[in-house]
Amino acid sequence: MNLRALHGVLLAGLLSAACSTSTNGNGSAGDDASAEASGDDAAGNAGDDGGSGPGADVTVSAFDGAHLFFKDWSTAGNQRVVTAQGAFPATGTYAKIVLHVTLACPQGGCDVYDRFGTIGLVTTPGVDGGANTVVELARFVTGFCQGGAWDYDVTDLRPLLTGTRTLEAFIDTWVPQGQSGIGQGWQLTATFEMTGGTPAKLPVAVLPLWPGTPITQAWYGDPATPVAKSIAPQTVTLPAGATSYALRSFVTGHGQGNADNCAEFCSRKHTLTVGTTANTQTVWRTDCAKTPSAPSQCGTATDSRAGWCPGADVKPWIVDVTSQVGAGPTTTIAYDVEGYADTSCGCNTCRPGAVPDGGTCTGCVFQGTTCAYDGSLHTQPFYYLSSLLVAYQ
């Protein structure tokens, strides 16, 4: 499914399977993006390592049944983005921090489509109603017509999770839009379970590389918009006293109908280069049929996809880069994606501007007669990327 949403008529097969589970809870603030980030350094850098002694066990509530939905383009009540405050311990070390995320269906049922979702921490509030700058903590994709529940180990992000912080959640939903039978969005609950103690590696700084609003997007397969233009290399200052480092990244592919059915349905190698060392991983999930909710979802939940499955959490890509950062005060990190196999351009041949422009493009999965993107069956391929450099004592 195209996560940017098909705004037209729902397939009959999806209509018959929409779920009707309901839950109660208080929604969070809407998408005014005006909440002030507080706590540590707004850049999300060094922060407090939590102090020298173990902290007390605590559960921090962030979202409690927050309703995420979309009404129509002219309605101020749209809530595809919600914010909430989380009051984290100011001091103390924690052996384990688990983010528990639950999606439930509001009255009228869950959105019948699979949607991109993310939860992050606001580091810079938006200006004049603009989007916040957010450091991603967790990523998921909703199931077709169903809720879900996932746990994320965020122990390494303790330097960010201190004091009172603003959390932001986003789900790329486009319902109900005044239509019946397509669900009423989602209700989100998120809590942080913090267990006092000493972690195996004590994080002392979290350095965001590509913070998004709410997430960084890399267009794929068009020579006019190379990946390096969307995702520029980042040079960061290394914190004093750190002895080891790890990269923590989320990468998922979206857009379909293109050559190779990219980027949602094509397997590609992705590279994070630290200094001069390349770290490569194939972003592709073949286990979608094994997710617990797959058999009962009302859409195509079992197909392999680029780093995600409907109704599942997205697994972080974690790499130990201690030996790669170098001995200097800074290090540079770059991102790239394996290109298309076409040797003439190494690009998507099914795009506006491809030859023959205005005709039937080469290798297209969609059945249109032009190269133009249509927002439904033929959408521009792209990857959502977020990446953090975590420094340890």
Q: Name the residue among 27, 50, 21 with its Cα closest to residue 183.
A: 21
Nearest C-alpha neighbor of 378 from the set 251, 253, 262: 262
Band (pLDDT 50/70/90 cuts) for residue 346 is confident
Q: What is the pLDDT of residue 356?
A: 56
Q: Is the peptide bond before 214 cis (omega within 30 degrees of 0)?
A: yes
DSSP state of 185: -
pLDDT at position 131 is 85
Give residue-wise pLDDT tens across range 6-33: 333 233 333 333 332 323 233 333 333 3
Ramachandran category for residue 32: left, alpha or beta (phi over 0 → left; psi -120 to 50 → alpha): alpha
pTM: 0.86
The domains of the chain are located at: 12-392
Q: Using CA atoms, how far apart are residues 147 and 233, in angstroms rounded to an integer?
A: 37
Question: What pLDDT score does 41 carry?
Answer: 42
Closest of 108, 182, 107, 100 to residue 148, by C-alpha? 100
Lowest mean pLDDT among 99-108, 191-200, 206-215, 380-389: 206-215
Distances (CA, A) of 324 to 266, 269, 319: 30, 20, 11
Q: Are 157 and 97 in contact (CB under 8 A)?
A: yes
Fold of 12-392: Jelly Rolls (2.60.120)
**In this structure, is the dihedral angle defined by the CA atoms of residues 335, 340, 342 and 347, taken in order, positive or negative?**
negative
Percent of the chain surpassing pLDDT 70: 84
Q: Which residue has better confidence, 82 or 40?
A: 82
167 neighbors 119 (Cβ within 8 angstroms) = yes
For residue 219, the cross-strand partners are 382
Residue 94, beta-bridge partner list: 196
Give yes or no for residue 118 having a pLDDT over 70: yes
Range in 68-77, 216-225, 323-332 with the lowest mean pLDDT: 68-77
pLDDT in the model for residue 155: 98
Mean of pLDDT values over 189-216: 91
- Please give the Cα distance from 197 to 344 (Å, whole number): 57
pLDDT in tens, 234-272: 999 999 999 999 999 999 999 999 989 999 999 999 999
Rounded mean pLDDT of the chain? 85
Find, among 239, 209, 229, 237, the residue nearest to 317 by Cα: 209
